[in-house]
Amino acid sequence: MRIPRYISPIMKMKVALTTIGCKLNQFETMAMREALEKAGFQAVPFAPGAHIYIINTCTVTGRSDYKGRQMVRRAVRMRPQGGLVVVTGCQSQLRGEELLALGADLVLGNVEKAHIREVIEKALENGTRGLMVQPVEKAREFQPMPLRSFPGYSRAFLKVQDGCNNRCTYCTVWQARGPARSAPPHWVLEEARGLATSGYRELVLTGVHLGAYKWQDWDLARLLEALLGIEELEKIRLSSIE
């Protein structure tokens, strides 16, 4: 990894992350933070002093779009020489050019956020900048974002579904998240057992439309029945069923 000239080679690069929007976005931000920490970055508060600023955006309302633009402007003001402002999430997926025009260095779509470590390392090494947004409407496979640590929470979160097939005319979520995709049940159960072994007794399943969970002959009810068979888990919560 090429370290910008203003950073001492012995200093860990500091990364600050912030989230706008739903519990799924919050989960994905925590997963990005954990992936970067495992790669040697140091997570710090979203304030002056970081080398890299990451904003995970929402676009479900005009207010959330406004907050996204506001956070990008704030990050650009705090960005040090040689630093990075990285914007991802639903607003990036649909309005990436607008965010680049505000001064963001990298704008990533919802597919790319699952590879945040590789994208940032490449940007630091090769100076990659600009728009990196794949057409999410072509997404067909669920992208796991493993997460085992939840600082400040007594419960664990697990993303098991993404996307929506309803295509409501008043909603942009299906455009930003793509078609419904579900995590393989064997992967869900393996992750849940790992979280339970780590000491978490309450599990929150997250997704865009949990009620649409479908993997071959598995639906949400069958998945829940299997999860309830994990002895260490005492409670399971559902978010965004519809």
Does position 39 have pLDDT exceeding 80, yes or no? yes
pLDDT digits (tens, 9 = 90+) for 194-216: 999 999 999 999 999 999 999 99
pLDDT digits (tens, 9 = 90+) for 100-138: 999 999 999 999 999 999 999 999 999 989 999 999 888
> Is residue 172, in this structure, part of any structural domain at all?
yes
- 114/176 same-domain check: no
pLDDT digits (tens, 9 = 90+) for 67-76: 999 999 999 9
- 145/130 same-domain check: no
Q: Burial code of 112-143, b = ≥16 C-beta within 10 A, e = fewer? A: bbbbbbebbbebbeeeeeeebbeebeebeebe
CATH no. for residue 104?
3.40.50.2300
- Other beta carbons less than 10 A from residue 40's beta carbon: 11
- 59/74 same-domain check: yes
pLDDT of residue 240: 83
- 112/192 same-domain check: no
Residues 6+ away with beta carbon under 8 Å from 35: 116, 117, 145
Query: Position of tokens 């496979």?
Result: 141
Query: Position of tokens 């979280």?
Result: 195
Whole-model pTM: value is 0.92
pLDDT of residue 57: 98
Does position 12 have pLDDT exceeding 90, yes or no? no
What are the helix (H) ranges across 108-203?
Answer: 116-126, 173-177, 185-197
Q: Rounded mean pLDDT of 152-156?
A: 91
- Domain with 31, as residue range(s), is 14-134
Q: Which of 157, 176, 162 is nearest to 214 (CA)?
A: 162
Q: Give the C-alpha distances (Å, rounded to integers) separating 9 from 3, 82, 132, 158.
A: 7, 14, 28, 36
- 173/193 same-domain check: yes
Q: Which of 79, 100, 134 is the last residue of a domain?
A: 134
> Is residue 180, in this structure, part of any structural domain at all?
yes
pLDDT of residue 192: 98
Q: Rounded mean pLDDT of 203-232?
A: 97
